[in-house]
Structure 1
Amino acid sequence: MQKYPTATTGRNKMAPGKFFRTVELPEQKPDGDGGLFPAVLSPIALNTDVASELTLSDFEEAIKAHKPWLESLLQKRGAILFRGFPVNTTSDFNDVVEAFGFPEAFYVGGRAPRTQVFGRVYTTNEAPPDKTIPFHHEMAYVPDYPSKLFFFCEVEPGAGGETPIVLSHIIYDKMKEKHPEFVAKLEEHGLIYTKIMTDDNQQHSFTGSGWKSAYMTDDKKVAEERAAKQGTKLEWMGDSVKTITVMPGVRIDKGSQRKTWFNSLANSYGGPANPELYDENRSIEFGNGEPLSDAAMADCLRILEEECVAVPWKKGDVMLVNNLMVLHSRRPLLKPPRRVLVSLCK
């Protein structure tokens, strides 16, 4: 006999509180609006001794029945961590993504080496796992960016390898308070992202996608057409290409009407405040051609770390992120193995 309440009983939908319970974790932080960031949900069992009897179908049914409530929670909190649900395989994760019903966002123009695993599920950044990936909004350097991200922990890390997240409007507010001139230039001029891509992937780099992989073609003309749709200019250099894109550095989250730090400054800047990221094949500057302030970038990197939340992954975790509201990063893996997968949605 099923020990969990189903999401629907006859024609009457059960309240979310009959299936999902809110959990508090020590890593969470106040979101400034009376809640904790991120939201953490676990299943409710009628008998707590039989939690293992919850099925994937139960979870999918609850998602479909309570999607408006879950979307509202996502808009309020920026991210939801689902913990303790029976999501064990890549196929399970794909089914969870499908249950939400969001359209798929394709990784055209993406800068990270990434491989399709199953259905709508892809590897996360394939750069060496002992390397840090700085904070960013996914694909902030193109106009057709995903609005939602799903992460799934298939193999729990031995140590390290967290995916820190941070509320973007907090970064904007703190940077505007400390560096108003820098933020004014960012809002007025936007940013110029420049990168030289080879024809094959450079697996040692977290922005090492080759142009064939990024534009999903080995035809230069097709690559140019796809890049143009992303607002990117290509300048060919033999088998390599220089990509040049001008994009806003700040956007407005329509749901909250807040300005967000929607950019890839932290993972594109390789100046004195972040010399380990220096790469002669990659640069970023204000849209009017002015260089970035090293002092402002030093404070930006510090604020991102101070304000972020890094919940250690557990096997089966699914994290849903509002890409407009939240930046994410990756900490170095200290003790292998680790396998975290991703699905991008509109």
Structure 2
Amino acid sequence: MLFEAAGEGLALGASLPAMREAVERHLRTGGGVLFRGFSLDDADAFRAFAADFGHPLLTYEFGSTPRSQVTSGVYTSTEYPPHQHIPLHNEQAYTRDWPMKIWFYCMQAAPEGGETPIADSRAVFAAMPEAIRRRFIDKGLMYVRNFGNGLDVPWQQVFGTKDRAEVEAYCAKHAIACEWKEDGELRTRQVCQGAARHPVTGEWVWFNQAHLFHVSNLEPEVRESLLDIVEDEADLPRNVLYGDGTPIDDAALDAVRGVLERHRISFPWQAGDVMMLDNMLTAHGRAPFKGPRKVIVAMAEAQSAQ
């Protein structure tokens, strides 16, 4: 749904009260809205706009990708090299705690590429092969992460502390199994949902990041190189298994990627655009790009697995 400014210079934040009911309605039915043509001065104005929806902005806890904080509650989008494609995913669906709302503010559109494609997670769930869908629901998913060693984001950065006791307390609170390896690095395992019901609409949505975490997401030469470095797949920076610890075959993940790709839609960013998504109803990604690009992100309304 597009909300477009009626006139030049109309401030986005000042326009929210008149739009709020329609925004929330379209968010639940369509999964997202795009605000275009409004005046939005900077990251602080973006933060204020997102916060005006009534929930404190969330910090990027237990993150899986490199980001930088721009201002309180606002972060850069994932800092992967411009040539890399970021597959469709729902934010933090690899955990048992995630934001219900996510906003993207395009401060500078790339001259080529750099779109933020989206997909309807309800349609993805419905289109998923029944056998795959049933295994993901019945078994759940176990995400395995090995931090540090220059292969993934350091645990000190992910947990925001150098204190092992604080890490252990966080893991215990969030049902994450953790162990300190002989080299002093950290391994975590967490069993999470493969799909979920939306807490408001009651609809089933495809809600996981198995296709990102699974070793099959790596280019073959990268996969082989990593396996030459680590002793076995259990020591890979990240991987995912079924919740009972059995492996997920590559073909199942290829099928998942195919369904996601068939439901992918995108639009070209314009500077000043703000896209707001219901994070459970709509997946997002990033297209490769050339030239400068600046898109920042805010998240709110914490939700936990039932």
TM-score of the alignment, normalized to the shorter chain, above 0.5:
yes
Give the match for residue 234 of structure 1.
178
Give the match for residue 294 of structure 1.
250
Q: Which has the higher contact order (CA 8 A, sep 6+)?
A: 2
Give the match for residue 336 of structure 1.
291
Equivalent pairs: percent with the same residue? Answer: 30
Paired with 1:123 and 1:87, the residues of 2 have a C-alpha distance of 17
What's the CA shift for 1:338? 0.4
- Point out the more displaced range, 127-136 or 256-265: 127-136
Give the match for residue 274 of structure 2.
318
Paired with 2:238 and 2:177, the residues of 1 have a C-alpha distance of 15
Secondary structure of 2:261 counterpart? helix
Give the match for residue 22 of structure 1.
none
Residues 1:267 and 2:219 aligned together: no
Residues 1:186 and 2:133 aligned together: no
Instruction: After superposition, give the CA deviation of every residue in 1:226-270 in whole Å (9 maximum; x if it has no partner).
Output: 122222111112332111110011100133221111000221123
Equivalent in 172, 184, 187 of residue 125 of structure 2? 172
Contact 1:273–1:297 (Cα < 8 Å) also in 2: no
Paired with 1:281 and 1:223, the residues of 2 have a C-alpha distance of 18
Contact 1:270–1:276 (Cα < 8 Å) also in 2: no
Instruction: After superposition, give the CA deviation of every residue in 1:99-140 in whole Å (9 maximum; x if it has no partner).
Output: 222222222111111211123211111122221112211111
Q: How does 1:197-208 map to 2 (within 5 A)?
A: 197-198=147-148, 208=152
Contact 2:51–2:57 (Cα < 8 Å) also in 1: no
Paired with 1:68 and 1:316, the residues of 2 have a C-alpha distance of 22
Paired with 1:153 and 1:93, the residues of 2 have a C-alpha distance of 10
Contact 2:96–2:193 (Cα < 8 Å) also in 1: no
Unaligned runs of 5+ in 1: 1-38, 46-50, 203-207
Paired with 1:214 and 1:88, the residues of 2 have a C-alpha distance of 30
Unaligned runs of 5+ in 2: 227-235, 302-306
Give the match for residue 104 of structure 1.
57
Contact 1:186–1:249 (Cα < 8 Å) also in 2: yes
Contact 1:171–1:304 (Cα < 8 Å) also in 2: yes
Residues 1:134 and 2:84 aligned together: no
Give the match for residue 196 of structure 2.
251
TM-score when scaled to structure 1? 0.79
Contact 2:58–2:73 (Cα < 8 Å) also in 1: no
Of structures 1 and 2, the larger Rg is shown by 1
Paired with 1:276 and 1:300, the residues of 2 have a C-alpha distance of 22
What's the CA shift for 1:277? 7.3
What's the CA shift for 1:293? 3.2
Give the match for residue 32 of structure 1.
none
- Point out the more displaced range, 285-294 or 157-166: 285-294
Q: Give the partner amino acid of 2:213.
A: S
Secondary structure of 2:28 counterpart? helix
TM-score when scaled to structure 2? 0.88
What's the CA shift for 1:283? 0.9
Paired with 1:234 and 1:170, the residues of 2 have a C-alpha distance of 35
Give the match for residue 27 of structure 2.
74
